[in-house]
Amino acid sequence: MLLSLFQAGVDVCRLNFSHGDLDWHLQLLRFIREAAARWDQPIALLGDLGGPKIRLAKIADAEGSGGMPIHVGDELIIQRAAIVGQAGRVSSIYANLIEDVQVGHRILIEDGLLRFICTEKNYNELRCNCTIGGVLKSSKGINLPDTTVNVPCITDRDWECVDWAMENDLDYLALSFVRSADDMHLLREHLRNRVSDIHLIAKIEKAEALDQIDGIVEASDGLMIARGDLGVEIDVARVPIIQKDLIRRCQVAGKPVIVATQMLQSMIEQASPTRAEVSDVANAIFDGTDAVMLSGETSVGKFPVGAVHTMEHVAEVTEEYLIGSRSARPAVPRATAATLRFSAAIARGVLQIVDDLKIKLVVIWSQTGATARIFSKSRFPVPLIALSSDHRALRRMALHFGVIPQEMAPPQDMGALVESVDRLVGQRRFATAGDRIVIVTGAAMGAPGTLNGIVMHTIGEQWSGEVEAELPNETTV
């Protein structure tokens, strides 16, 4: 199944630490890596930390419904002592729920699909009235939009998962319920102390994060717009506006952004998406997202491969339209480091060459992946083939828009590079004889800090040895 998902278009697999134990995740990790080795294309692994998510405890399956049915007007009792939920009585994994929630506060479950109002409380339990019913299921999230909850952003369970992620060489960690840049700095320091280069994704799902967004973008390696919790925590009508704003901020900062939650929700049960869901995926791509994410559709849904095929097809059709119209250029990345500003400038120059000379594709030597990330933000109308000999960098590049990571040992000189690229793109059918490509590289391939040359090459022809554009040797990237 995993191999089928990769063939359908999956580039990144998310391990959701909110569900399952670490032994289960280790088994899944091994399956993913085995399938990725057979697929022969880098697949990134993203560990999604649960954070201080308040969830229901286990609930018994009543009459094959998958949980506990509850209807409008029914009373739900949430008690302090842990139980297996049944007959209108449940518990939660959050020890202070009864202390924090006050009479009159809203209690929203499963991203607001089920809604309750607290009508009475005592030391041992909350009594709640159901205003929107459904089926209560084990481990579903609880949102408390009226309640001040004072819990740390990173829980003891999260720290255990972080250490597991380092031991198992994950590529990204997503931090849930980020409120400020300090949350990201805390996790970053932990990784640095253990000499880990895992990249950090800040999940934006709380109103407090929006007030501190500039610092969060600066402190992270990318954002995930987690629209489920975000749409419960704030006015749902603001979510599309916030999505566009956050994508624009990441575009300018030169960092990847993921749009997540309920993109093809109906495909959990149905073989075809709704028209609104197709428009949602397309609009995220119009906004400029790097990635669109599936959750329940591929984890518990009935049509996982079909959901990926649908998302891939929508992306392909939308991108073809964008390439054909080219009505507006994306915001220019403002990468803060001087070295990455140089990459952004080169990307703009190469983009002009691609437009003027009908270039088939662009090949970049990007040993650490930083140059590929910046080039990605210029939204090239052709594929970006990113070369590196670093396995971790190759996997991380799988997240970036338009980038196809390919492993290559550092060639001895420019001539060897051009020869290797010619052979690679021909074998992988990225281009055919007579196609013109651009190669962006440096004097010392494989070593960060040497981006200083642009070569135009015609596939199938012997390279003349001339570099069309040479840049200052002291430039470091």
Q: Which residue ranges make up each domain of the chain?
A: 2-51+154-325, 54-143, 338-470
Tens of pLDDT, residue by residue over 169-222, are: 999 999 999 999 999 999 999 999 999 999 999 999 988 899 999 999 999 999
Query: Taking the model in full, what pTM does it have?
Result: 0.87
* Distance (Å, whole) CA 387 – CA 406: 5
Strands 134-136 and 257-260: what pairing? Answer: unpaired
Residues linked to residue 384 through DSSP beta bridges, in sequence order: 362, 403
C-alpha separations of 195 from 60, 144, 438 in Å = 44, 37, 36
Under the banding of pLDDT at 50, 70 and 90, the label for residue 34 is: very high
**From its phi and psi, is residue 475 left (phi > 0), alpha (psi between -120 and 50) or beta?**
beta
User: Which of 404, 405, 371 is CA-nearest to residue 391?
Assistant: 405
**Domain 338-470 maps to which CATH number in 3.40.50.1360, 3.40.50.970, 3.40.1380.20, 1.10.1740.10?**
3.40.1380.20
First to last CA, the chain: 39
Q: Chain-wide mean pLDDT for the chain?
A: 90
Place of tokens 């009235």: 129
Amino acid occupying residue 314: V
**Domain 2-51+154-325 maps to which CATH number in 3.40.50.300, 3.20.20.60, 3.40.50.2020, 3.40.50.1820?**
3.20.20.60
* Distance (Å, whole) CA 474 – CA 452: 9
Which residues, other chains included, contact 406 with Cβ-Cβ below 8 Å and sequence gap of 6+? 385, 386, 387, 394, 424, 428
Tens of pLDDT, residue by residue over 412-431, are: 888 889 999 999 999 999 99
**Domain 54-143 maps to which CATH number in 3.40.50.261, 3.40.50.720, 3.40.50.300, 2.40.33.10?**
2.40.33.10
pLDDT at 385: 97
Which residues, other chains included, contact 70 with Cβ-Cβ below 8 Å and sequence gap of 6+? 76, 88, 114, 130, 133, 134, 135, 136
* Distance (Å, whole) CA 374 – CA 344: 6
Tens of pLDDT, residue by residue over 249-306, are: 999 899 999 999 999 999 999 999 999 999 999 999 999 999 999 999 999 999 999 9
Long-range contacts for 35-39 (Cβ within 8 Å, ≥24 apart)? 35/2, 35/3, 35/6, 36/6, 38/3, 39/3, 39/6, 39/7
Q: Classify each residue of 126-145 as buried b or exposed e, where b means 16 or more C-beta atoms within 10 Å of its C-beta.
A: bbbbbeebbbbbbbbbbbbe
How many CA atoms are closer than 13 Å to the CA of 108, on its beta-carbon side?
17
Residue with the larger pLDDT of the pair 355 and 447: 355
Beta strands in 29-80 (DSSP E): 44-48, 54-55, 68-70, 75-79
